[in-house]
Amino acid sequence: MDIIAIILSRTSNVSVGLLLTGMNGVIVLISGAFFDWNIALYTLLSIYLTGKMIDTLHTDHIKLTMQIVTTKGESIRKELLDSVYRGITITEGYGGYTQETKHILMMVVTRYETMQIKKIVRKYDKNAFINIFETIEVDGQFAKN
């Protein structure tokens, strides 16, 4: 189950601990229906605590840097500042292929914020280019939620 949870976590934005808790919980509930409910409930509690611990240790430290290349920089900037508590650095770029002036928005976020940010960007610019890469270290102000 651990391997399946890790693979699913990489293809979706769901944490490994939550996936493990859900998958193992279903198995324990089915077992509880056939065997003893007391043991099943204690096992569910153990699975829940293990999942929480995995999420705390495994993903809390992972930060990602998002670079968004768009022609709708100002609209995206305003909504991001209103809805996501993160700083944004904006530079101007020039598209090598399109030869258009573009805005490049860069921000460091947690893994859990990426889906919300992508939805905001796609709301204003369906053709925006979003580059997401893992950040090794953040030195300076980074609010930890």
From 30, 58, 86, the end of a domain falls on: 58
Reported as a single tens digit per residue, the pLDDT across 62-111 is: 789 999 999 999 999 999 999 988 889 999 999 888 889 999 999 999 88
Domain contains 117? yes
Where helices occur in the chain by DSSP H, the ranges are 2-11, 16-34, 37-58, 73-83, 114-124
Domain contains 22? yes
Cβ count near 4 (within 10 Å): 11
Reported as a single tens digit per residue, the pLDDT across 34-50 is: 888 888 888 888 888 88
**Predicted model pTM:** 0.59
Domain contains 11? yes
- 36 and 14: one domain? yes
Under the banding of pLDDT at 50, 70 and 90, the label for residue 140 is: confident
Domain contains 140? no
Domain contains 144? no
Contacts of 108 (CB under 8 A, 6+ apart): 63, 64, 65, 66, 86, 87, 135, 138, 142
- 22 and 75: one domain? no
The range of the structural domain enclosing residue 126 comes to 63-135
Tokens of 96: 């090598």
- 54 and 73: one domain? no
Domain contains 71? yes
